[in-house]
Amino acid sequence: MSGELRASSRDDRPLILHLLYSFDVGGLENGVVNLINHMPADRFRHAVVALAHCAPAFCERVARTDVEFISLHKPPGHGIKLYPRLYRLFRRMRPAILHTRNLAALEFTVPALFAGVPARVHGEHGWDTSDPGGTQRKYQLLRRAYSPFVQRYVALSGQIESYLTERVGIAANRVERICNGVDTLRFQPASARQAVAGSPFDDPHAVIVGTVGRLQTVKDQLNLVRAVAIARAQGEAGARLRLVIAGDGPQRAEVEAEIAATGIGDITWLAGARSDVPELMRALDIFALPSRAEGISNTILEAMASGLPVVATDVGGNAELVAAGETGALVPAQNPDAMAHALLRYTSDAALRQNHGAAGRKRVEQNFSIDNMVARYTNLYEQSLHRGNSPRGSGLAREYSD
């Protein structure tokens, strides 16, 4: 009997249902893992629903044992066919809060409202690969069309906050900016560059630049390959460069072809998808992010927490993270010459690498701690619970509840 009482008590905690396209390796997904792992376990329960799939290996990163993972295996196209299934799921699980993320999940706030989910929060982490700058009018109109079904918005960067209020037309008092936080205990600087499993680079005089991310067009690893090829031809400093590309994805064949075409196969390691990213960061000297578009990049924060100088493209929220000339360098997107120049500056100056890396670590500790992120989300959820349980906050959901 006592066990049943304890179970009942646990079930009384409000359930937050996190709905996203997929739960697999990625910055958005890492943010969800960090949030679940660090939120007070006695205050909320969590469930993760992926429209595509929840990867078992990635689910293991969630340290809590009371989290349910559900894969819907959604086919391509509009998700209206999933509305009945999600309606039934919402009715069965009865979440207190639905937290959808990015455009792919936004439309499912509709069945959530009619299923009586009292609080509906939507987070915007960045734009789709088909709309990297957020400029396409049809996507702005789609977000506006679903806005009546959302009570609160979370923008992960100032640029996304402006996009929601100025282009989509969301009232500013419905949008809260909450930046990602990084686990500064898990990601720590090394006193000296460390070896990592599988790496072919053991030359102490080499300078290793690396990137971590899904191999897809928007992340533009091709740009980094070209930049390293350009830098390699620039004398002694360029000859010391080595390149690590961690991640996998649909553009892998193109990345391999570009490495071959530029002739840098002997200094490049395609490390594939990795579960040891903290250790990988400590095996680098410089971190590079060549993306064409970004929200708030978890990997930039992880690199800074690891004491690495960052060379990133000046897109999205990157300028909100990298203090140019203090913690790293910002260069134009799709400009390998500019990235090559920035890489060479760090390759030829060990003191600059160390100083900018230390400044990046300090910046993360002061402004992007995981504790601050969790506190902000906890406060948002608490407010959403209060509003969702009020007669006005429930909205149309009250009319359609059983």
Statement to judge: residues 386 and 329 lie in one domain: no
Q: Does residue 85 form part of some domain?
A: yes
- Tell me, yes or no, whether 114 and 102 share the same domain: yes
Query: pLDDT grade, residue 389 (50/70/90)?
Result: low
239 assigned to some structural domain: yes
Note down the domain range covering 358: 207-367
CA–CA dist 351, 345 (Å, integer)? 11
In a domain, residue 138? The reply is yes
- The model's pLDDT over 98-109, given as tens digits with 9 standing for 90+, comes to 999 999 999 999
Indicate whether 90 pLDDT > 80: yes
276 and 391 within one domain: no
Q: Are residues 306 and 213 in the same domain?
A: yes
* 177 and 223 belong to one structural domain: no
- pLDDT at res. 126: 80
Helix axes 298-305, 350-367, angle to 10 degrees: 110
Mean pLDDT of all residues belonging to the chain: 91
Within-domain flag for 195: no
Does 260 lie in the same domain as 272?
Answer: yes
Please say whether the beta carbons of 397 and 98 come within 8 A.
no
Q: Two tokens at 374?
A: 């969790």
Same domain for 342 and 387?
Answer: no
For residue 88, the one-letter residue type is: R
**Mean pLDDT, residues 370-394:** 81
Give phi and psi for 270, each to the nearest 5. -85, 100
> For 2-6, 125-129, 137-141, 212-216, which range has the lowest pLDDT when averaged over its residues?
2-6
Same domain, 151 and 211: no
Q: How far apart are CA 117 and CA 304, in angstroms?
A: 39
Q: Is residue 352 included in any domain, yes or no? A: yes
Nearest Cα neighbor of 142 from 159, 127, 120 is 127
Distance CA 100, CA 82 (A): 15
Percent of the chain with pLDDT over 70: 93
- The conformation of residue 54, written as its DSSP 8-state character, comes to B
| CA dist., res. 365 & res. 305, Å (int) | 8
Mean pLDDT of 28-46: 94
Q: How many domains does one find in the chain? A: 2
Pair of tokens at residue 121:
């929060």
Could you say which DSSP state residue 14 is in? P
CATH of the domain at 19: 3.40.50.2000
Beta bridge partners of 120: 98
CA distance 276 to 296: 21
Same domain? For 253 and 276 the reply is yes
Q: How much is the pTM?
A: 0.80
Whether residues 273 and 378 share a domain: the answer is: no
Q: At 395, is the pLDDT very low, low, confident or very high (cuts 50, 70, 90)?
A: very low
Per residue in 224-281, pLDDT (tens digit) is 999 999 999 999 999 999 999 999 999 999 999 999 999 999 999 999 999 899 999 9
Q: Is 113 exposed, middle or buried (0-12, 13-18, 19+ CB in 10 A)?
A: buried
Within-domain flag for 267:
yes
pLDDT tens digits, one per residue of 293-335: 888 898 999 999 999 999 999 998 899 999 999 999 999 999 9
Asked if residue 193 has pLDDT above 80, the reply is yes
